[in-house]
Structure 1
């Protein structure tokens, strides 16, 4: 799956894949997702975000992402480069793109 040449304007979650998403707290967080995500690219994505984290990649500990590429990502939060946070993935970085910081989940 490829996302390419996209302009974001004050978007809350410009780039997000979250395998721990659980909208009604009915999930067992001790059991990781068994869905394998691979070969996803985000190229030439630019614009502004409402959140400090413009890139959020939270992957399953059971089947981590494979072949995720970030290339030429230029997202701004309050005029500064937006951050990228990641868990269980090491994206391939090409060109200008933020380096992933460790994802820190909110306390339950």
Structure 2
């Protein structure tokens, strides 16, 4: 489950009330991701933040396996921080070989409850913190 928006997006809108619940994953890539700085092959200007507001997103009862080295990552816009992100009962086992990266959160303060494997948002950067990617 990946929610992505490009920096320097042409239109402004809100993506809200998104619920991902009771999902079984088998050897997936990037299982729980919000990335508002998504920019494949440098096709957008990362210095201009996205105009997409993300709010009221729930990840609940997500179980299974993942193969990429990032399982949970929430990178939100400094101008439009994510709001109302809930993470409840995540149980994902890593099957890859490259080692795991510490889950990160930026410009979001998620509500975290229940089991967290891997833990969501081990490193939480403050709202409006500069990008380090």
TM-score range, shorter chain: 0.7 to 0.9
Find the counterpart in structure 1 of residue 114 from structure 2.
95
**What SS is found at the alignment partner of 1:90?**
coil
2:72–2:120 contact (8 Å) kept in structure 1: no
Find the counterpart in structure 1 of residue 20 from structure 2.
3
Find the counterpart in structure 2 of residue 15 from structure 1.
32
Cα root mean square deviation, aligned: 2.3
Which of the pair has the greater relative contact order for Cα pairs under 8 Å at 6+ separation? 1
Find the counterpart in structure 2 of residue 29 from structure 1.
46
Query: For each residue in 1:55-105, what CA deviation from the matched residue of structure 2 results, as whole angstroms up to 9, or x when unmatched?
Result: 1111111100000000000111149x9853222111100111223134852
For residues 93 and 27 of structure 2, what CA distance do their matches in structure 1 show?
Answer: 9
Paired residues in the alignment total 105
Deviates more, 1:62-71 or 1:16-25: 16-25
For residues 40 and 55 of structure 1, what CA distance do their matches in structure 2 show?
Answer: 14
**What SS is found at the alignment partner of 2:68?**
coil
For residues 101 and 45 of structure 2, what CA distance do their matches in structure 1 show?
Answer: 31
TM-score, structure 1 length as denominator? 0.85
2:27–2:65 contact (8 Å) kept in structure 1: yes
Structure 2 runs not aligned, ≥5 long = 1-17, 126-131
Compared CA separation, residues 52 and 26, structure 1 to 2 (3 A): closer
Compared CA separation, residues 50 and 89, structure 1 to 2 (3 A): same
TM-score, structure 2 length as denominator? 0.70
